[in-house]
Amino acid sequence: MVEELRTTVGIVGAGPAGLMLAHLLHTAGIDSVVVDNRDRDTIAHTHRAGILEQGSVELLTRTGAVSRAHTEGHQHEGTVFRVDGVDHRIDFQGLVGASVWLYPQNEVFVDLAKTRDADGGAVFYGVSDTQPGGFDTDRPTIDFTDADGTARRIICDWIVGADGSRSVCRTTVPETTRQRYAHQYPFAWFGILCEAPPSAPELIYARSERGFALVSQRSDTVQRMYFQCSPDEDPDDWSEDRIWSELQARVDGPDGYRLTTGTIFDKTVLPFRSYVTEPMRHGRLLLAGDAAHTVPPTGAKGLNLALQDVRVLFEALRDAVTRGDESGIDGYSDRALARVWKAQNFSSWMTSLLHLDPQASDFEFRRRQGELRGLLESAHGRAYLAEAYTGWPGESTLTI
Ligand code: DHB
């Protein structure tokens, strides 16, 4: 026996993108059902990036969702580029009148999951055998087995694939009807979480002869830091002492700056990849976030891009469902991809600017130093950086 559920929008993926979309649809009186193969606790404890653009914070705080971004997050009005031990501050507020917020992705999830609870939203966590289908019909379906072992089928008008970089929804679309664009990088990030007070009031993106490092924060007592490593690095080869001396070496400089060290309780190697699949719509299937595109982590664009997809997609679905106007759905892929490629460029450019490419020639190494100097010495260069980092602030006006 298959239990059938009828809804307007079936959403695969209960990460921030899927739940934000479900919430926005709810505000417009449109019902949805969300499924995810991960259990709620796993999503709440999966560490991802921690920076929200101004437009993302607006989306999270102005739409009636539970959000602790303003109360527990930290507004950052600038960031520091540390090149060979010398600080260059990018003053976001002074340059483009915008800020970013340090508020980790897993906390965004916790807030949105509570929002769905409060609104009585249907979210199935811990499902298995998820199988979307029928995109080419006007009654697409999502088959799955819920956490209790009951076989279920969602019958809906639209399916949204917000199911991350290993998307089942994307892989259900025949390869012949989509284009893939991908780029590999010859390095990865070694990420740590540690118990220590913050080492700096703002983020430090450091470039040194030993490679890239990023000093980020989580709270008054927990910090997040990363350093460039080889993709096949094994975290077990890295003792606490070895990690701290490598991080310190990458931020050393004439100012004598020292990181505040503490017990490291999480070590992970994060792979780097750029990926885009086009188009982001296949009949009644719409892809959003990492299901359609992945950026390298430098600049923390991943979640922000996903939320931006969701904003555009929400407007398109609302117009289609409430007014029968499908022009927004028809334009969704092009609208979303315009921003996706801007962010792809920014993430990949910021990566190459700050990382050491083990295969690069001496010429390339020195050219990059020239590029960085040209950028950081120019008010226009810093403004370009500030504008892209904060999410092209003039552009992200909410129309809800
Ligand atoms: C964080 C991650 C990023 O990729 C970045 O660019 C900035 C901050 C973080 O996890 O805090």
pLDDT at 285 over 70: yes
Give the pLDDT confidence score for residue 254 in this predicted structure: 98
Cα(280)–Cα(339) distance, integer angstroms: 13
Mean pLDDT of 150-159: 98
pLDDT at 341 over 80: yes
Tokens of 245: 């001396």
Determine the number of helices (DSSP H) and then strands (DSSP E) in the chain. Answer: 12, 21
- Return the ∠ at Cα 287 (arms to 283 and 290), rounded to 5°: 160
Q: How far does residue 165's CA lie from ligand 1's centre (Å)?
A: 18
CA 155 to chain centre: 29
pLDDT tens-digit profile of 71-105?
Answer: 999 999 999 999 999 999 999 999 999 999 999 99
Q: Which of 51, 76, 199, 389 to mutate to test the pocket of ligand 1 (most atoms within 8 A of CB)?
A: 51
Q: Which atom of ligand 1 is nearest to the CA of 216?
A: 11
Per the DSSP assignment, residues forming a β-bridge with 275 are 182, 294
Cis, bond preceding 279 (omega within 30 deg of 0)? yes
Give the pLDDT confidence score for residue 396 in this predicted structure: 52
pLDDT tens-digit profile of 112-149?
Answer: 999 999 999 999 999 999 999 999 999 999 999 999 99
Residues with CB under 6 A from ligand 1: 49-51, 203, 214, 216, 224, 297-300
Residues 6 or more apart in contact with residue 345 via CB below 8 angstroms: none
Give the pLDDT confidence score for residue 393 in this predicted structure: 86
The bridge status of strand 263-278 relative to strand 179-195 is antiparallel
Mean pLDDT of 204-220: 97
- For the four alpha carbons of 63, 48, 183 and 160, in that order, the dihedral sign comes to negative
Q: How far does residue 263's CA lie from ligand 1's centre (Å)?
A: 20
Ligand 1, atom 11: nearest CA belongs to which residue? 50
Q: How far does residue 124's CA lie from ligand 1's centre (Å)?
A: 29
- R_g of the chain computed on alpha carbons: 22
Ligand 1, atom 6: nearest CA belongs to which residue? 299
SS (H, E, C) 260-273: CCCEEEEEEEEEEE
Share of the chain above pLDDT 70, in %: 99
221-254 b/e with 16+ CB inside 10 Å = b?
A: ebbbbbbbbeeebeeeebeeeebbebbeebbbee
pLDDT at 398 over 80: no
Q: How far does residue 191's CA lie from ligand 1's centre (Å)?
A: 10
Q: Which of 226, 227, 351, 353 to mutate to test the pocket of ligand 1 (most atoms within 8 A of CB)?
A: 226
| Count of CB atoms situated within 10 Å of the CB of 138 | 9
Ligand 1, atom 5: nearest CA belongs to which residue? 300
Q: How far does residue 159's CA lie from ligand 1's centre (Å)?
A: 31
Q: Are 205 and 226 in contact (CB under 8 A)?
A: no
Q: Which atom of ligand 1 is nearest to the CA of 189?
A: 4
Is residue 397 very low, low, confident or very high in pLDDT (cuts 50, 70, 90)?
Answer: low
Ligand 1, atom 7: nearest CA belongs to which residue? 300
Of 31, 27, 67, 73, nearest in space to 50 by CA: 73
Q: Which of 76, 194, 214, 224 to mutate to test the pocket of ligand 1 (most atoms within 8 A of CB)?
A: 214
Q: Which atom of ligand 1 is nearest to the CA of 191?
A: 10
Mean of pLDDT over the chain: 96
Whole-prediction pTM: 0.96
pLDDT tens-digit profile of 238-250?
Answer: 999 999 999 999 9
The DSSP symbol for 241 reads H
Largest Cα–Cα separation, the chain: 71
pLDDT at 275 over 70: yes
Mind telling me the catalytic residues? 76, 205, 297, 301, 389
Q: Which atom of ligand 1 is nearest to the CA of 49?
A: 10
Cα(145)–Cα(171) distance, integer angstroms: 19
Q: How far does residue 136's CA lie from ligand 1's centre (Å)?
A: 39
Is residue 394 very low, low, confident or very high in pLDDT (cuts 50, 70, 90)?
Answer: confident
Cα(245)–Cα(259) distance, integer angstroms: 10
Tokens of 279: 């188009």
Q: How far does residue 397's CA lie from ligand 1's centre (Å)?
A: 24
